[in-house]
A = this chain, B = another copy of it.
Amino acid sequence: IAPATAVPDELRVEQTAIPGLLILRMPLHQDNRGWFKENWQRAKMTALGLPDFAPVQNNMSFNASAGATRGFHAEPWDKLVSVACGKILGAWVDLRAGETFGRVVTVEMGPQTAVYVPRGVGNGYQALADGTVYTYLVNEHWSAAAKNSYTFANLADPAIGVDWPIPPERSQRSEADLHHPPLAEVTPFAPPRT
């Protein structure tokens, strides 16, 4: 688990063990009202190595209780994920065909952290505070009809081995997330041939 870090003075972008998975450490400008952040800033972030990923959708999910856990979902698009309120353990497993298949990264995230998740990397998180709102930008439109073609892995698979702070068995999960395959049964993600 990468340690939770203090709020930085300047935006920083860090590499991780999963190629292309990037951690962004963001300043929070504090004042008498609260704080302000540039949660995505195309010019500054691309200058520091974030892909110019051209989002078309901004999603938010609200988690009523600490413990709510979602994942692992590897849709065929890229994501910039972050926290609006509360905190989470973010977790990722590389589901792309290749030698990094199965690699895991976890990061404790409050509002000062964002993570860029390239397509094919399974995305998951657990809310660590009641009322946590997770927010993300993606560069393709989701579709209910295409959902069957997306790549999933089971968030509780011991072979993936995420040490969720709250045991998933005692927390809120979607019906779909209960039934995703263990890593050993996942068909690796391969980008469509062009």
A residues adjacent to B (C-beta < 8 A): 28, 31-43, 55-64, 68, 70, 84-85, 111, 131, 133, 135, 137, 141-142, 172-174
Contact = CB atoms under 8 A, between A and B. Distances in A.
12 contacts: A33-B70, A34-B61, A34-B68, A34-B172, A35-B62, A37-B61, A38-B59, A41-B57, A41-B58, A42-B56, A42-B57, A60-B111
So how many copies of this chain end up in the complex? 2
A51 to B, nearest CB: 14
B172 A42 contact: no
Nearest to A40: B58
A34 B70 CA distance: 11
Contacts of A56: 41-43
Contacts of A84: 60, 84-85, 133, 135
A70 B55 CA distance: 27
Contacts of A43: 56, 141
A55 B139 CA distance: 12
Contacts of A131: 85
For the complex of A and B, 9 pairs with smallest distance between CB atoms: A84-B84, A34-B62, A40-B58, A85-B85, A42-B56, A33-B68, A39-B58, A33-B172, A34-B64
Contacts of A141: 41-43
Nearest to A177: B33
Given A133-B84, A133-B133, A59 B36 contact: yes
A148 B99 CA distance: 53
A60 B35 CA distance: 8
